[in-house]
Amino acid sequence: MLEERKDHIADLVVVANRLPVRREQGDDGESGDWTVSPGGLVSALAPVVADKKRFAWVGWPGSSEAPLEPFTHDGMRLVPAHLTAEEHELHYEGMSNGTLWPLYHDKIEPAEFHRTWYDGYRRVNRRFADLICDSAAEDATVWVHDYQLQLVPGYVRANRPDLSIGFFLHIPFPPSELFRQIPWREDLTIGLLGADLIGFQTPEGAANFARVAESLDLATRESANLLSRNGRPIEVRSFPIGIDVERYAEGATRPEITAGAVAVRERLGNPRSVLLGVDRLDYTKGIDVRLRAFGELLAEERFAPGEVNLIQVAEPSRGNVDAYVALRERVQGLVGEINGDFARVGVPPVHYIHQSQDFDELMSLYRSADVMMVTPFRDGMNLVAKEWVATRYDDTGVLVLSEFAGAVHELDRALIVNPYDIDGVKEALVRAVLMDPAEAAERMAAMRASVEQNNAVKWAESFLQALAETSGPQAS
Ligand code: G6P
């Protein structure tokens, strides 16, 4: 009986590849205290968790050192999933980031298919599923996140049919033609279909998945957003993720942030315009596109060095995966080329920061920028675009946004570009720099309203509400 096992405790179990904490290095070089990593998911869930005392989060603790027992931090029950170094390599670097990530992002880089990677992925998904089954109270709700864990809903359902299971994919779900290339397409689809509710960032993602499930003959379509498998209903819908708007909006008005932004511009020599990009160093983000566009505008003397500067923050990411190593070299090469061609002493046109920024540094950069460049080739949502808009309390600044970012549905008053069209990106950058402040303000006000309306907490609440309705008694 479940009740007899005291570890079946949580009414809500959130499952993501990473735990929402990281371990600081202690003074002695050993692992020190845990601190909460300020991700979107943690802030989205904060109010939900506050009135859910019996809550648990299952995830990888960030290292393959000795297994850790479940522990409580900041009121959250954390259940670490222990992975050996080899499992981490096969599951995370291999199948997750060498196969699924590129394939789900339109194969901007080739996706590799290796049976050993998939075996590791299966093993790790199984481990997460076992931890969930051990942590969840009878009839509890389980919310599984992202592409690293697509087999988990199926595994959990097989062991614990009493649970309500939701799954949310943070990245795009690809068109059927791409997805069907995966040798394990049936397994992955069946895994996802183990959920009662499958959420996507956009309606296209939801439609792509429904088409895949139908075309592989693994589910029947009941209506636009409803599939069924073996008579069990499965809702498939979009839930565009939001941000913690207050954190960014309030942060932006703090005097030290304003002073920080002024200092950034001073250090740049008070140029007429500051262009900013902030991304993980990832080949999906189109960092090279904007560098090339900027370099050409300098070469054509449409931008003058010293008058228009570009700051690119590229947070180190997935540095053990080959495609990321190659991207780093490509980006560094482009930055070096542009600065070599156009710098004067003390005035390099590109400032490239391959480091992660703390919140205040990021806010100062956000506030220092006139133009924000978000030009991914493909992106599930892109929260940087929303964060930046949230900091424009004075309705200044222009967002240049790729039509292939999920955020374009809500931020449709940005200057929208096709990142494959360098000339189009160049025109948009010139237009952004020259835009009349009244037009910029009108566009920004509309975008700010949209970001404020759909914040992270509403996103989490609407998903959990839909899950309760889908898997509740009225649905069966
Ligand atoms: C994307 C993914 C997340 C992932 C994050 C950071 O946003 O959707 O699942 O956690 O990138 O990547 P990392 O590989 O460092 O976890």
pLDDT digits (tens, 9 = 90+) for 462-476: 999 999 999 765 444
Given the CA of residue 16, which atom of ligand 1 is nearest to it? 9
pTM over 0.85: yes
In what helix (H) or strand (E) does residue 156 lie, and over which residues does it extend? helix 152-159
Q: What average pLDDT score do residues 262-287 get?
A: 97
Residues with CB under 6 A from ligand 1: 17-18, 146, 170-171, 317-318
Return mean pLDDT, the chain: 94
In the chain, the amino acid numbered 333 is G
| Pairwise CA distance, residues 41 & 417, whole Å | 28
**Does residue 8 carry a catalytic annotation?**
no
Q: What average pLDDT score do residues 344-355 get?
A: 96
Q: Are 195 and 234 in contact (CB under 8 A)?
A: yes
Neighbours of 341 (CB within 10 A): 12
Domain 245-453 has CATH 3.40.50.2000: yes
pLDDT tens digits for range 166-205: 999 999 999 999 999 999 999 999 999 999 999 999 999 9
Domain 3-241+458-470 has CATH 2.130.10.10: no
* Residue 3 in this model has a pLDDT that exceeds 50: no
Task: Check residue 42 and give its pLDDT.
Answer: 82
Task: Check residue 101 and give its pLDDT.
Answer: 98
| Pairwise CA distance, residues 209 & 201, whole Å | 12
* Residue 314 in this model has a pLDDT that exceeds 80: yes
pLDDT tens digits for range 429-453: 999 999 999 999 999 999 999 999 9
pLDDT tens digits for range 25-75: 777 767 778 888 877 788 788 777 776 668 999 999 998 888 999 999 888
* Residue 339 in this model has a pLDDT that exceeds 50: yes
Place of tokens 């290339």: 181
Given the CA of residue 92, which atom of ligand 1 is nearest to it? 14
Q: What average pLDDT score do residues 315-331 get?
A: 96
Confidence of residue 242 (pLDDT cuts 50, 70, 90): very high
Q: What average pLDDT score do residues 393-403 get?
A: 98
DSSP 8-state class, residue 121: H
**Residues 170, 279, 282, 351: which is the catalytic one?**
170
**Domain spans in the chain, listed from the N-terminal domain onward:** 3-241+458-470, 245-453
| Pairwise CA distance, residues 327 & 287, whole Å | 9
Distance 88 CA to ligand 1 centre (A): 14
Q: What average pLDDT score do residues 389-411 get?
A: 98
Task: Check residue 192 and give its pLDDT.
Answer: 99
Task: Check residue 198 and give its pLDDT.
Answer: 98
Distance 439 CA to ligand 1 centre (A): 35
**Does residue 379 carry a catalytic annotation?**
yes
pLDDT tens digits for range 144-170: 999 999 999 999 999 999 999 999 999
CA-nearest residue, atom 9 of ligand 1: 146
| Pairwise CA distance, residues 475 & 469, whole Å | 7
Same fold, 3-241+458-470 and 245-453: yes
Distance 148 CA to ligand 1 centre (A): 9
* Residue 351 in this model has a pLDDT that exceeds 90: yes
Task: Check residue 4 and give its pLDDT.
Answer: 45
Place of tokens 């795009």: 172
The two structure tokens encoding residue 112: 């590799």
Task: Check residue 2 and give its pLDDT.
Answer: 46
Distance 327 CA to ligand 1 centre (A): 17
**Mutation choice for ligand 1 from 15, 17, 41, 383, CB with most ligand atoms inside 8 A:** 17
SS (H, E, C) 185-250: HHHHHHHHHCCCEEEECCHHHHHHHHHHHHHCCCCEEEECCEEEECCEEEEEEECCCCCCHHHHHH
CA atoms within 13 Å, Cβ hemisphere of 295: 18
